[in-house]
């Protein structure tokens, strides 16, 4: 109870019971897993519709799909990695759509839960990206990748005492952690914000004297819903572009 | 003393129990295995679908469009080059026709001038011939008039002289005098 509001505990906001599989099991399927499933189904349906009647002048779903792919290709891959990075486009497109659809469920009625407001999704995606850019580094530079990554060439030798631990922490520890936490924290914060204003609206609706404040609270709820749509897109973009930057930096020693 | 130990012991047990309970309670912030598992599975599926099924047609469309744009651009450039060539040919033809026309005009003008000169020469020759004939006719007429005048004056002078002297005068002797007089008068 805060200022007379019955605010639900955070467990109630982010934890969901399994739809099948026992609680605590490794394969328990809950609402978050379902949203992840919808992410691949929705993305696949969108691409199938977009690819169904391909024309030189795109319209409808084809236009949406091509615009999205062109946005990632031109705005992320070519900007951060150049033409050599085109082979990583499928990974980055998958990442973008998986995160975007997972995030957008924050504002979809009857769901109202972004999949990435749970740490599991961002952590897995960050770990995959971490493994991926290390693999790319090994593929392009061989075992020297680790040396180049933690001891960049051109640095005065005396500074290696400082640079090596910093680069090691930055490249191999902080990067995946920051990727995961940034996405998770933003989506969780947005989710809590929307829940807070929803609870406030409900409470004000039932409290007769405070009902005068209800329109303001409701307006904030609507505005924040729009804001969260933007955040959903922005976080998908940020995660994808950072993944591209990390992969691109692994391709060449001088980066 | 024993009671105090019991109190401490109970407190310690409670603290341990609380710590164990906190440690075993689920932290809503930490990732859970089942969600990580499904995220991994579904993302791997989406990645595979994207790489092998969903994205290739989009990339093919991009390539086809880029090829078509490039081909159309090349065709447009070829058409533009052909247009420029055709324009150059047309302008070269036009320049040739213009120079040919100038040449023809010059030729016609030269021929015209030559013809004019011939015609003028012929006309001038005709005029000179006519003038010569006219001059000859005038000279003849003048001689004839002078002869007639001399004869008339001689007749009048001889007649007048015969009337004055009342005797016949030799006409042939007076003719040369009259002729001299007429010739002298014609000079004055």
Distance CA B141, CA A191 (A): 142
A255 has pLDDT over 50: no
- ipTM of this complex: 0.92
pLDDT in tens, B97-140: 999 999 999 999 999 999 999 999 999 999 999 999 999 999 89
| Phi, then psi, of A113 in degrees rounded to 5 | -155, 115
Burial class (CB in 10 A: 0-12, 13-18, 19+), A229: middle
Q: pLDDT tens digits, residue range A8-51?
A: 777 777 778 889 888 888 899 999 999 999 999 999 999 999 99
Partner residue facing B38 (CB), from A33, A56, A123: A33
Nearest to A44 by CA among B7, B81, B45: B45
**Residues above pLDDT 70, as percent of chain B:** 87
Q: Which of A25, A36, A54 sits opposite B42 (nearest CB)?
A: A36
Asked if A43 lies within 8 A of B46 by C-beta distance, the reply is yes
CA B70/CA B68 separation, integer angstroms = 5
- Compute the distance between CA of residue A152 and CA of residue A146 in angstroms, rounded to an integer: 10
CA distance B98 to chain A (A): 49
Going from N- to C-terminal start, the domains of chain A cover 10-251
Q: Residue range B138-151: average pLDDT?
A: 86
In DSSP notation, B1-54 reads -HHHHHHHHHHHHHHHHHHHHHHHSPPTTS--HHHHHHHHHHHHHHHHHIIIII
Angular region, A241: left φ>0, alpha ψ -120 to 50, beta rest: alpha
Bridge-partner residues for A29, per DSSP?
A20
- In this predicted structure, what is the pLDDT of residue B110? 94
* Residue B4 pLDDT greater than 80, yes or no: no
pLDDT of residue B20: 55
Quote the CA–CA distance of A27 and B42 in Å, as a whole number. Answer: 13
pTM for the complete prediction? Answer: 0.73
Note which residues in 60-99 of chain B have CB less than 8 A from chain A: 60-62, 64-65, 68
């Amino acid at each position: 109870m805060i200022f007379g509001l019955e605010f639900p505990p955070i467990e109630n906001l982010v934890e969901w019971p399994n739809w099948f599989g026992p609680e605590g099991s490794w394969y328990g399927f809950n609402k978050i897993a379902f949203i992840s499933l919808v992410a691949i189904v929705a993305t696949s349906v969108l691409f199938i519709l977009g690819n169904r009647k391909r024309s030189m002048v795109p319209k409808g779903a084809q236009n949406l799909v091509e615009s999205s792919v062109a946005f990632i290709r031109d705005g992320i891959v070519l900007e951060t990695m150049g033409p050599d990075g085109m082979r990583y486009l499928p990974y980055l497109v998958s990442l973008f759509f998986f995160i975007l659809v997972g995030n957008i469920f924050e504002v979809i009625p009857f769901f109202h839960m972004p999949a990435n407001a749970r740490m599991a999704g961002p952590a897995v995606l960050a770990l995959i990206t971490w493994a991926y850019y290390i693999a790319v580094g090994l593929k392009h530079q061989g075992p020297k990748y680790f040396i180049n990554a933690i001891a960049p060439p051109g640095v005065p030798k005396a500074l290696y005492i400082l640079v090596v631990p910093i680069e090691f922490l930055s490249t191999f520890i902080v990067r995946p952690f920051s990727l995961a936490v940034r996405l998770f924290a933003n989506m969780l914060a947005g989710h809590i914000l929307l829940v807070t204003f929803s609870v406030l609206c409900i409470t004000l609706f039932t409290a007769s004297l405070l009902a005068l404040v209800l329109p303001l609270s409701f307006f904030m709820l609507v505005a924040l819903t729009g804001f969260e749509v933007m955040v959903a897109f922005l976080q998908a973009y940020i995660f994808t572009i950072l993944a591209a930057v990390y992969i691109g930096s692994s391709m060449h020693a001088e980066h | 003393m024993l009671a105090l130990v019991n109190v401490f012991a109970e407190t310690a047990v409670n603290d341990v129990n609380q710590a164990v309970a906190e440690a075993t309670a689920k932290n809503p912030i930490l990732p859970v295995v089942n969600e990580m598992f499904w995220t991994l599975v579904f993302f791997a599926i989406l990645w595979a679908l994207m790489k092998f099924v969903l994205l290739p047609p989009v990339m093919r469309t991009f390539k086809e469009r880029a090829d078509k744009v490039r081909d159309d651009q090349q065709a447009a450039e070829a058409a533009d080059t052909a247009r420029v060539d055709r324009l150059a040919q047309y302008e070269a033809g036009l320049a040739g026709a213009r120079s040919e026309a100038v040449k023809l005009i010059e030729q016609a003008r030269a021929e015209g001038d030559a013809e004019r000169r011939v015609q003028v020469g012929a006309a001038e020759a005709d005029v000179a011939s006519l003038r010569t004939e006219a001059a000859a006719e005038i000279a003849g007429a003048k001689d004839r008039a002078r002869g007639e005048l001399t004869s008339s004056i001689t007749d009048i002078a001889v007649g007048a002289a015969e009337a004055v002297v009342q005797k016949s005068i030799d006409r042939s002797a007076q003719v040369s005098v009259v002729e001299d007089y007429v010739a002298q008068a014609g000079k004055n």
